[in-house]
Amino acid sequence: MNAPTKNKNLLNWVAEIEAMCTPNQVVWCDGSAKEYDRLMGEMVESGMAIKLNEEKRPNSYAFNSDPSDVARIESRTYIASVKEEDAGPTNNWTDPVELKKTLTKLYTGCMKGRTMYVIPFSMGPIGSPMAKIGIEISDSPYVVVNMHIMARVSPKVLEVLGDEGEFIPCLHTVGSPLEPGQKDSRWPCAPIEEKYIVHFPEENLIWSYGSGYGGNALLGKKCFALRIASNMARHEGWMAEHMLILRFTNPEGKQFHIAAAFPSACGKTNLAMLQSTVPGWKVETIGDDIAWMKPGEDGRLYAINPEAGFFGVAPGTAKSSNPMALASCRKDAIFTNVVVTDDGDVWWEDMGVECKGGTDWHNNPWKSGMKDGEGNTIKGAHPNSRFTARAALCPVLCPDWEDPAGVPIDIFVFGGKRANTIPLIHEAFNFEQGVYMGATASSEPTAAALDLGNVSLRFDPFAMTPFIGYHAGDYMQHWFDMGETLGDKAPRCFYVNWFRKTDDGKWLWPGYGENSRVLKWMCDRVEGKVDAVETPIGLMPKDGDLTLDGLDISAEDWAELMKVDTHLFKTTLSNAREYLAKFGDKLPAKMVEQMDALEARLG
């Protein structure tokens, strides 16, 4: 196939990678339905993909990955900056020169017996002044079909790129060359010790070797849209954040746009697709995972969702928890490491429906309630099993979610999972305190963080810990710098905690759709409709301003939900100081000022 571009830098790069990786053929992808169907057909024939029941799940497919390749591998993910200190304490650093030598040896001949796909994609609406173009080279057809959904893959991308345009080069291989006549494995990948996900920030370059899993292989997602983009953003004066974006419209038609950052297991996707319980107020989804934000001509901060799909965790997604996410994967979806039922549909734990039987994510026969030799229940779906769904199929998607100019952000929301200490809602006194709130977002350790040992709190600044592409201290300073740029037009900042409990373990707040009540109070604050009570930690609702009509919450429970225990807060502050100390002299002076001011207010 002749290359559909005259961009010399792109043509030279593709030729260089072809010479190094020696594939059987090179295919330039066009993002068409015809291409998608052809690749899916080939993968069904090879046994890599399972075609689902057309009546139950139209045009949808399931995949089972190798057990060694089921999640992002943070221990094998690197920021290969020229100077080690530029990577900072939250990243794995490796010398870029030495690593390129290691990887060049691995890449040499790595695509033997395979097809090399060249995938032109846009992060953000094609042609938007806020969008960026990437080119992913991969030998994985699974990557191609997922990129069709997650990014905008189209010949139009190459038209916008033109002959001289710049792009982010993203190189990926499963690292499993095939000899003539050798049968391919169901899910080709390299051993764990040969997996590498590497970012070269000075070159805006991504090299991924050995993994076929989404976060390691769909390089437009975390690798480009967060790690590389966050570094580009600080140099270019914008923001690349691990944030959902939603529109909240009041009965009079006034729109508020909210960007929110939550650590894992804190209900981020649920909030992005919230079904409001406040009469007359409507939530619409713009994005569920990543926000790119840039100051507009009017001085406000505008956001786009750089992605085109949802790469969601399947277990726990149910009609009761997130019906909109479930509806988004009703057709044209890809499922990875879930149960394929006997009648050709999909199932996972906590889906809220019965599963009589099928094949599990290991592709073995499975029935609900099966036990292993030690009496433990065998899960059918992997805890990190995924659905890849088109954003366009989300029933509550904003009609103008692809506006190339983006939407103006009114509110930033931060949060974590805390059984005590943090009240349901409080507002920052100003943007600088809001940055402190985001930088000290914390949760009690969960099952996903058992390797932390005896740690009382898990801090996750702006829910970005694994995704900051440079020193986290410099990243926090960039937030302060953006606040100075935006001035009085900076978004208002709030902190929520949906997870507060009584001493005997009962949830104090119902969560889910009822969280819209809290969002409404935020919007009322932005509009100046309600005053707030000043407390040592920030501004909180006056009695009656956050409506509880129809909720079964006693006065005692409400008091506990909103309680500010200064003793417990001092402990959290002490933990925050200890955590932030590791950033050394890169910790912004304003962070220290905020901690000192909070300590003084707590008394």
Among all residues, which ones are annotated catalytic?
A: 266
For residues 261 and 442, give the distance between their C-alpha atoms in angstroms, rounded to a whole number.
11
Could you please report the per-residue DSSP string of 396-436?
A: TB-TTTT-TT-EE--EEEEE---SSSS-SEEE-SSHHHHHH
124-148 residues labelled b (16+ CB within 10 A) or e (exposed):
bbbebebbbbbbbbbbbbbbbbbbb
What end-to-end distance do the CA atoms of the chain give, in Å? 71
Q: Are strands 411-415 and 492-496 parallel, antiparallel or unpaired?
A: parallel
The one-character DSSP state at 501 is B
Query: By C-alpha distance, which of 70, 42, 52, 40 is closest to 362?
Result: 70
Query: By C-alpha distance, which of 123, 129, 128, 125 is closest to 167?
Result: 123
The token pair at 117 is 């796909």
For residues 144 and 156, give the distance between their C-alpha atoms in angstroms, rounded to a whole number.
17
The enclosing H or E element of 123 equals strand 115-123
Amino acid found at 425? I
Contact in structure between 90 and 103 (CB atoms under 8 Å): no
Contact in structure between 332 and 59 (CB atoms under 8 Å): yes
Q: Are strands 291-295 and 239-241 parallel, antiparallel or unpaired?
A: antiparallel
Neighbours of 596 (CB within 10 A): 12
The alpha helices in 131-267, defined as continuous H runs, are: 141-150, 155-161, 214-217, 229-236
Neighbours of 122 (CB within 10 A): 24
Query: By C-alpha distance, which of 262, 599, 595, 541 is closest to 423?
Result: 541
The token pair at 504 is 């005997």
Contact in structure between 487 and 93 (CB atoms under 8 Å): no
CA distances from 19 to 38, 135, 376, 602 (A): 26, 17, 50, 64
Neighbours of 320 (CB within 10 A): 12
For residues 578 and 467, give the distance between their C-alpha atoms in angstroms, rounded to a whole number.
21
For residues 172 and 35, give the distance between their C-alpha atoms in angstroms, rounded to a whole number.
19
